[in-house]
Amino acid sequence: MKEGLDLDDEDVDKITEQKVSGQGFLGLTQDDLMRIGIALGPAKNIINLVKKLNGEEQGNYRYGIPAYTIIERTFEELKESQSELLKQRFKELKEFNKESWSELLKQTFDGFKESVAR
């Protein structure tokens, strides 16, 4: 991989000395790389790799936000709205059942009183 990016051992050492890995690597900028002494050419190559890994080059970004973040947020919003809808429906069902049950008991009790009174 280092050959494909036109990096020499010094460049790799500079990155590892900064303890860059994982998410940190995916957040690198050209300025970051040049600040630690990596030449412009290899810095651009690394940034192109970072863009590919982040999905930027494939149009997976919208409004500067990765597609997976948009999908994740949309899913969370959907879960929240569905949860609220289910809570509301459950509350309505509970209230309906209370009213229905009360009415049924009242009718039964009234019917019982009438039959006893005869």
What's the number of domains the chain is made of? 1
pLDDT surpassing 70 at residue 110: yes
- pLDDT value of residue 62: 54
The answer to whether residue 116 is domain-embedded is no
pLDDT surpassing 80 at residue 37: yes
Query: Model pTM greater than 0.75?
Result: no
Domain that holds residue 44: 1-58
The answer to whether residue 65 is domain-embedded is no
The answer to whether residue 12 is domain-embedded is yes
Which own/partner contact pairs does 40-45 have at CB distance under 8 Å and 24+ positions apart?
41/6, 42/5, 42/6, 42/7, 42/11, 45/4, 45/5, 45/6, 45/7
pLDDT surpassing 70 at residue 2: no
Residue 53 — very low, low, confident or very high, per pLDDT cuts 50/70/90?
A: confident
